[in-house]
Amino acid sequence: MNTKPNYANWVPKKLLVLLGCISAILVAAFAASFLPAASISWIILRVVLGVAAGIFLFSFGYMSYARKLLSYEGGGVQGKALDNVLRYLAWDGNGQLLDIGCGSGAMTIKAAKKYPQATMVGMDYWGPGWDYAKSQCEQNAALENVADQIAFQKGDAAHLDYADGAFDAAVSNFVFHEVKSQPDKTALIKEALRVIKPGGVFSFSDVFYSKSVCKDLDTLIRDLATEVTEIHFVDTRKNDFTPACLQTPMIMGEMALIYGRK
């Protein structure tokens, strides 16, 4: 039984293990390539293996350092990024909030602490590729003494199992680009807006500067504006809580935030 919350990390352990294993194999293969007598073919192979080993070793080192900076025990960047999402939520804290893609429950729990009169629903698919689970969320909430405010539920962000206007507020962080069941991210965000009641508020952060997520930001905002009474866009690629080394496309270099009122 954990005695302190486990919010895991945006850089999964599984990714580091994979990068580490591939790096070790490539380094071993590169070293072995020196054993046979030199020939043009072996020299070419040696160069290819050396370059590949260098790339994977760099990736492993970078992602390991990024994980340390993101962690709550290290640089704490994850928590600061979630605080920033809640900072733009213009809510009085009365009613019910939905956290779409709650992961380890970190932002749901932060919201519960910030809005003690409100109730929260943390929803996630909890896929196998991440170090998150519903039981982990529930344990974290209990350790943070907010379990009575929160319900955690499994679901699909592309097809939210809630009625129109069910929530007074909704938040999401670093989630929409991961939803494989809906490649149309405009439709995905509109689904999130659907479950917010008229007059309710939202704050959504994601890699909106990534062309794979959003081909045209102006078009995205115009399309979403038809669903709400107020919408704002904030460039969060560079801020006062993210170290420069994390402001890359691999981590947080394409982040932006959309917030407003329905």
For residue range 13-69, what is the model confidence (pLDDT) as tens digits? 999 999 999 999 999 999 998 888 778 888 999 999 999 999 999 999 999 999 999
Q: What is the average pLDDT across 72-81?
A: 94
Q: What is the average pLDDT across 71-97?
A: 96
- Whole-number mean pLDDT of the chain? 94
Fold for the domain defined by 80-261? Rossmann fold (3.40.50)
Res. 2: pLDDT tops 80 = no
Residue 244: burial class (beta carbons within 10 Å; 0-12, 13-18, 19+) = exposed
- Which neighbouring-strand residues pair with 201? 169, 261
Sequence-separated (6 or more) residues with CB below 8 Å from residue 201: 89, 90, 91, 168, 169, 170, 259, 260, 261, 262
The whole-number pLDDT of residue 24 equals: 97
The whole-number pLDDT of residue 209 equals: 95
What strands lie across the sheet with 167-173, from one edge to the other? Answer: 150-154, 119-124, 96-100, 167-173, 196-206, 256-261, 230-235
Dihedral over alpha carbons 86, 92, 95, 100 (to 10 degrees): -10
Res. 195: pLDDT tops 80 = yes
The whole-number pLDDT of residue 159 equals: 96
Res. 91: pLDDT tops 70 = yes
Res. 181: pLDDT tops 80 = yes
- Rounded to whole angstroms, how far apart are CA atoms 214 and 59? 26
Does residue 200 contact residue 262 with C-beta atoms inside 8 Å?
A: yes
| Percent of the chain residues past pLDDT 70, beyond the cut | 100
Which stretches within 198-243 are classed as H helix?
217-225
In sequence order, what DSSP letters do the residues of 29-66 get, joined into one string?
Answer: HHHHTTSSPP-HHHHHHHHHHHHHHHHHHHHHHHHHHH
Res. 254: pLDDT tops 90 = yes
- Which neighbouring-strand residues pair with 171? 99, 203
**Range name among 33-37, 127-131, 237-241 with the lowest pLDDT average:** 127-131
Please tell me which residue, 183 or 100, carries the higher pLDDT value.
Answer: 100
CA separation (Å) from 217 to 14, 47, 221, 226, 254? 32, 42, 6, 15, 12
The whole-number pLDDT of residue 42 equals: 86
Please tell me which residue, 37 or 73, carries the higher pLDDT value.
Answer: 73
Map out the domains of the chain as residue ranges: 13-70, 80-261
Question: What are residue 250's phi and psi, to 5 degrees?
Answer: -70, -25
- Rounded to whole angstroms, how far apart are CA atoms 72 and 9? 8
